[in-house]
Amino acid sequence: MCGICGQLRFDRGTPSSNSIKNMMSKLSRRGPDSSGQWFEGSVGFGHQRLSIIDLSNSGSQPMKDNTLNLTLVFNGTIYNYKELRSKLIDKGYSFFSSSDTEVIIKSYHFWGKDCVKHLDGMFAFAIWDSLSKNLFIARDRMGIKPLYYNLTDKAFTFASNSQALLTQNLDKSINPIALQQQLSLHGVVPAPNTIINGIKKLRPGTFIILNENGIVDEQSYWYPNASRYESNISEDDYITRTHELLSKAVTKRMEASDVPIGVLLSGGLDSSLIVALLKESGHKDIRTFSIGFEDIDDENGSEFEYSDQIVSKFQTNHKKYLLSNKEVLPRLSEAIKNMSEPMVGQDAIAFYLLSEQVSKQTKVVLSGQGADEAFAGYFWYPRMFKEQGDEVERFSKHYVDRPHHEFLQTVMPFYQGEDHTNKWLTKEFSKPGADSFIDKVFRTDMTRLIVDDPVKRVDNMTMAWGLEARVPFMDTDLVEWALQIPPSLKMKEEGKYPLKQIARQLLPSSVIDRKKGYFPMPALKYVQGDFLEFMSDILSSSSCINRGIFDQKYINKVINSPRDYMTSLNGSRLWHLALLEYWMQINIDT
């Protein structure tokens, strides 16, 4: 829920109300229900509210606790807030609201920086301590909720998206390292970098403490261990425990809300299993939503064949939306305007258009992101596993969109350099706490790559319509458990074996054993017709040429034969290039 922003000055100045207001204007779609500002000396906060827990004014933000001299802005949901509230009441605290927001304030006062270890949820928040003059900034373990910032010797400025920060006076030049990663890692630029030099993002599972003198202390508070603690656990035990943890993850995300909750139903195993587990736990009025697009050649544009089966079996209250390609192209600029970073996954546009419709029905939905990464659902995992030799090369062959030698052909000399993608992967794979190469792959996917790919897309595209997406498969307890499961068990029967076994008693076999789908939007994969003309115009525009990032000889080759330039993950390199340039035209140039 919500969009947050703020600034702490180091230069004895005071934050400008207009500066905060300008940032809030770029966050308004994340929190359309109400807004607020707060200032005290060198610090100022802004907040746009999406009311989900404690719908009264008592839950409004920025929230100040006059007794504790603490003020907070918060984006997200704390699933165990009722449990923590009871515990804190026993410690002598009294509450003026029934919100999870106030629980964070009291938790920080009681546990200090260790409060984050007690919070079970998705969150990004900032707390100002009026007594110590410290600013505490934190992000959840899985990085589900975003937090971007700009740090100079004059101020620390933060916000829920980069568009808010781009209203400020900062360095808007392109980060060469991030550019290479953007074009190599399927649009992923791992934290702390972004494509903009003047904008960073807080790493997942990390907090920062700052004071008025500009002293910055950044610490990580969570990182999972991918080594197996026990070797005598049976297959049935692994599956039973997975069932228990997933059921708990789904249930607690349904209970932490004062508004109705729906499910984004793709027709795949993951979202279908969420519906089944809701039914298993006793939920009756389940709302589900699906979207589909036109087919192109042999590529299906919808998965209604499967989602309809789930709707029929569980008798959900269902809404189904079918869009033509003619409806998609005019809406691309809207979706890209709401991307905090360039997001090449074709399902970003699908989520944007689906969220527009779903937001008319509810404020909160459950979604299936994280299941493929946690339980080995992607086709490239077995291919990597079978490879021999250098670990980074094994990974890169089946994941990296653009080998380094092709990256050098893609960009102009100013942006050419060493293989930063290779260096980053080498560093990730060298971290301790993983038993094998494939364990390292799963851990890197779950803790770094997923954060800045599917998770970021879902948060951006749903929150663009004031819709909060909750992701049960990224529950911390479930993720830690999934990383302990032997890869051979997860990859059995073409992947996601534990989930398939759970589903055998709950779902139709046709949904469980179907070929994996990818929330299809064929027009952005097999580029032709109006879409080809659109992308060609972007990449041959004067704005693109004058920006001087891409080598036009390479660009022309890709435009002339887009289907010859597909990535190892079956994406379109032409779309990747056009999306990056179009994002900069919309979000930086205007």
Catalytic residues: 2
Q: Give CA–CA dist 313/506, Å, rounded.
A: 10
For residue 112, give Cα distances in angstroms to 43, 71, 119, 207, 232: 20, 14, 12, 12, 39
Q: Give CA–CA dist 60/534, Å, rounded.
A: 43
Q: Give CA–CA dist 322/521, Å, rounded.
A: 12
514 class by beta-carbon count within 10 Å (0-12 exposed, 13-18 middle, 19+ buried): middle
Q: Give CA–CA dist 77/74, Å, rounded.
A: 9
Q: Give CA–CA dist 52/32, Å, rounded.
A: 12
| Nearest CA-CA partner of 481 in 494, 495, 499 | 499
The residue whose two tokens read 């992947």 is 495
Omega within 30 of 0 (cis) for the link into 192: yes
Which residues, at least 6 apart from 14, have a Cβ–Cβ distance to it below 8 Å? 39, 41, 42, 44
Antiparallel, parallel or unpaired: β 121-129 and 70-78: antiparallel
Token output for 494: 């073409």
The string of DSSP letters for 80-91 reads THHHHHHHHHHT
| Nearest CA-CA partner of 485 in 250, 142, 277, 231 | 231
3-state secondary structure of 39: strand
Angle of the 269-280 helix axis to the 304-314 helix axis, nearest 10: 0
Sheet-wide strand order for 317-323 = 317-323, 287-293, 261-264, 364-366, 468-470
What are the DSSP E strand ranges found in 398-554?
A: 468-470
Q: Give CA–CA dist 46/38, Å, rounded.
A: 7
Q: Give CA–CA dist 7/212, Å, rounded.
A: 11
3-state secondary structure of 311: helix
Token output for 292: 């589909």
Q: Give CA–CA dist 6/41, Å, rounded.
A: 13
